[in-house]
Structure 1
Amino acid sequence: MTPVHARYFNGVEATAFPVTIAIADGIVTVAGAGIERRERLDAVEISAAIGRAPRLLRFSDEAFVEIADTEGLESLLASHGIHSSAISQWEGSPWWIGAGGAVFILLLVAAYLYGIPMLARVVADRIPDVATHRLSTEVLAVLDGQIFTDSALSRARQQQLDAAFRRLEMPGGAGPSYQLVFRKSDVIGANAMALPSGTIVVTDDLVALAEDDRELIGVLAHEAGHVDHRHGLRNMLQNSMVGLIVAWFIGDISSIAAAAPTALLEASYS
């Protein structure tokens, strides 16, 4: 077998000495000008193959050999029954690299489509009511400053709708404590949205659009269902990866407050 050319470092100085590597009868021989070293093959540490990077043969006294001719070394080792691991072979194969990249992309897509929603659902169910009430108060304050103004509906009309809504029998018995609030908005028009705490925001345009109060109550029952299943909170968590991670580990949802108004508007009734 033709010896493999390499560079020898004695572990004492940084000088590289040109040498050749040969293997015979289980003995590695390093030979060069003024250098001849023989070591048992099983006592030599052989670095894994990583692409076209040089490989190393390390000795117990910190000396090592650097081999740039990786194919020559591979053939030399193979002739003595030493083969690269399957992982090393895969790393050097364009087919396996492409296949690995495709699998990685599929895993990312699956995590986005299924993993994140599943984690958001679990986290949403773990967040205590006191936290959702605080979050809802902060979000409503932001929306009041950006897209909502005071409702023009009379107090009597608001109370009439609130009384009709409270006569509904919600499925599942006791659930969230619901509260209707009325706002005017030229931005979202006829709409309704449910905050995680159970507060349901109804716009004046939605009230005006309904031909019958029963239509409006049906919309509000739909929004109540979002609250009961924590859809709004789950949407907020899904829109904030950092918030989702923080909420999972320590239960602090303050980091998702910034994403909350957008998530709620996207999930609004419309």
Structure 2
Amino acid sequence: MTTTEIVKNIHHYCIGLSYLCAFLLEIARLLWPAKGWRITGLAFGAAGLFAHTAYLLVHQPSLAVPYGSVLLLAWVLALFYFYGTVHHAKQAWAVFVLPVVIGLVAMSRILLTAEPEHAAFDIGGWASGERFWGGIHGMLILFASVGVSVSFLASVMYLIQARRLRNKVSPGSVMPMLNLERLEAMNRWWLNFAFPMLTAGLLVGTLLIPNGPSLGDNWFSLKVLSTAGLWLEFLVLLYLRYGVHVPARRLALFSIVAFGLLLVALVASHPFAIGGAK
């Protein structure tokens, strides 16, 4: 079997199981501290990231279809996990990021079984300029998705850390985490990054929607409505943060809700996505 054939046989299961092993080894490292756990965990994480990257390069899933957008988001967060685990060696970074990555990979697999693997944009009547802006729209939404996801992770860690401090839990008896100031700053930075990306992506998408076969169906599709809802959620978040200075804990809860809206937007079928295997 050639290298190309081996790469083509990589499936979601290989990716997900590698990340799952890395996650379990990180848990073991926290329970029984030893250098070997971390090295082995990183090796499995690297294997999962390699398989993940190879799958994307070979199959080239479109951002227009749910399984493709979810799998690409999982890949970016996997990079985030690997970098963070190396950079924040003493923190329980992977314990929070890897479950999200594994969940997204599993979600992508479920979505793939419900839709043709090679579904793509319905671009039969599109000009080259429209195809270009369609790609820009997809990338902007992907960047916004990364920002929302990292904000979600920072919010979850913030709520856990705040609860620990409120209950006066000894730091030595629990898994190590970043302090509240850094987590709040992380949440703020990624929200500020995601909002302009989402806004620009929506503007580009709005210009493309009239090219669809049914204007009414496009505007009132679940994909469009959930993405618009996510944008309004961001608007409320920014107002609460900079307008009325709501406590960070409440903002963290809003960020978690925003992540839920993001998942709905990602799994919804795109107005331009069509079926049909090649």
TM band (smaller chain) = under 0.3
**Structure with greater strand share of residues:** 1
Larger radius of gyration: 1
- The answer to which structure, 1 or 2, has the higher relative contact order (CA under 8 A, 6+ apart) is 2
